[in-house]
């Protein structure tokens, strides 16, 4: 049973560029949440997608946007990259009927470096 | 808004010694409480969770945690640490029934001496 798959694993971008990160949820899960984990910090909630719509959003600017596809996979897009966007981006999947309180399944993350 | 503090940034213990990682939260009611572990280059793995009932909860890998309402704390313990326990540990809270509002603490890095 495949867990959460994220791609790419590492990425280097230049300030001002745009980036797209991808996530395939655990089999059977229908909800995808994205977290940003800066170096030495805990993950911070970006947003959550369910039924192809953004259901909840954290305190992140509109430069951060996302999408969920009919197969439940998801993308995170970041426009106009800043140096401060350098972080590990984690995708977590869950099942809406029981909620993330019963345990997220996390991917290994995408390490984004902005230079 | 709810918040989570983990007072210890880095803890070093000897293999076989006992361990306690501290976690305090700020929230008006009792939140859902979690401990996650992150090994280098890996995502987060759930160790245990507390929703209600018995305030001492057992998790995987021999870990347990105790919820103390009066102290707004949810400390993680292990009686005998193994070298493979070296990792980053995160306490987290959720304040709704479906986990749409998860807040993680800053983490505690655990090093284990042989």
Average pLDDT over residues B85-94: 95
Q: In this model, does residue B81 exceed pLDDT 90? A: yes
- Phi then psi for B85, rounded to 5 degrees? -80, -10
Task: Kindly state the tokens that stand for A6.
Answer: 């994220």
pLDDT of A40? 87
A106/B contact by beta carbon, under 8 A = yes
Mean pLDDT for all residues in chain B:
92
Q: Give chain B positions within 8 Å (CB) of A107.
A: 43
Chain B residues with CB under 8 Å of a chain A CB are: 4, 32, 36, 41-46, 49, 51, 90, 92, 94, 97-107
Q: In this model, does residue A36 exceed pLDDT 90? A: yes
Tens digit of pLDDT for each residue in B27-68?
877 789 999 999 988 889 999 999 888 899 999 999 999 999
Q: In this model, does residue A23 exceed pLDDT 90? A: yes
Could you give the C-alpha distances from A28 to A2, A73, A95, B36, B55, in angstroms and in order? 10, 11, 7, 22, 31
pLDDT of B53? 87
Which pLDDT band holds residue A1 (cuts at 50, 70, 90)? low
Which pLDDT band holds residue A101 (cuts at 50, 70, 90)? confident
Which pLDDT band holds residue A2 (cuts at 50, 70, 90)? low
A104/B contact by beta carbon, under 8 A = yes
Mean pLDDT for all residues in chain A:
93
Tens digit of pLDDT for each residue in A57-76?
999 999 999 999 999 999 99
Task: Kindly state the tokens that stand for A47.
Answer: 């947003």
Interface of A with B in 23-82 (CB under 8 A): 33, 35, 40-45, 48, 55-56
Q: Can you tell me the distance from the alpha carbon of B36 to that of B97, in angstroms, rounded to the nearest whole number?
A: 19
Could you give the C-alpha distances from B56 to A86, A115, B15, in angstroms and in order? 38, 46, 24
Nearest CA-CA distance, residue A40 and chain B, Å: 7
For residues B81 and B18, is the Cβ–Cβ distance under 8 A? yes
The residue with greater pLDDT, B58 or B97, is B58
């Amino acid at each position: 049973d495949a867990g959460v798959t994220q791609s790419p694993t590492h990425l280097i971008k230049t300030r001002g560029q745009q980036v797209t990160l991808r996530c395939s949820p655990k089999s059977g899960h229908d909800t995808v949440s994205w977290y940003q984990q800066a170096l030495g910090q805990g993950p911070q909630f970006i947003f959550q997608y369910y039924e192809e719509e953004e259901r909840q959003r954290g305190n992140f600017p509109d430069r951060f946007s996302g999408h969920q596809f009919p197969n439940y996979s998801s993308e995170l897009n970041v426009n106009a990259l800043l140096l401060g966007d350098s972080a590990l981006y984690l995708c977590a999947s869950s099942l809406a009927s029981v909620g993330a309180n019963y345990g997220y399944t996390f991917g290994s993350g995408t390490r984004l470096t902005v230079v | 808004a709810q918040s989570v503090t983990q007072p210890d940034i880095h803890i070093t213990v000897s293999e076989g010694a006992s361990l306690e990682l501290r976690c305090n939260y700020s929230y008006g009611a009792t939140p859902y409480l979690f401990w996650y572990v992150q090994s280098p280059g890996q995502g987060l793995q759930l160790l245990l969770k507390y929703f209600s009932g018995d305030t001492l909860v057992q998790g995987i890998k021999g870990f347990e945690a105790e919820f103390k309402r009066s102290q707004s704390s949810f400390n993680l313990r292990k009686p005998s640490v193994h070298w493979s326990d070296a990792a980053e540990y995160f306490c987290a809270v959720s304040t709704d029934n479906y986990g749409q509002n998860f807040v993680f603490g800053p983490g505690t890095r655990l090093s284990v001496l042989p």
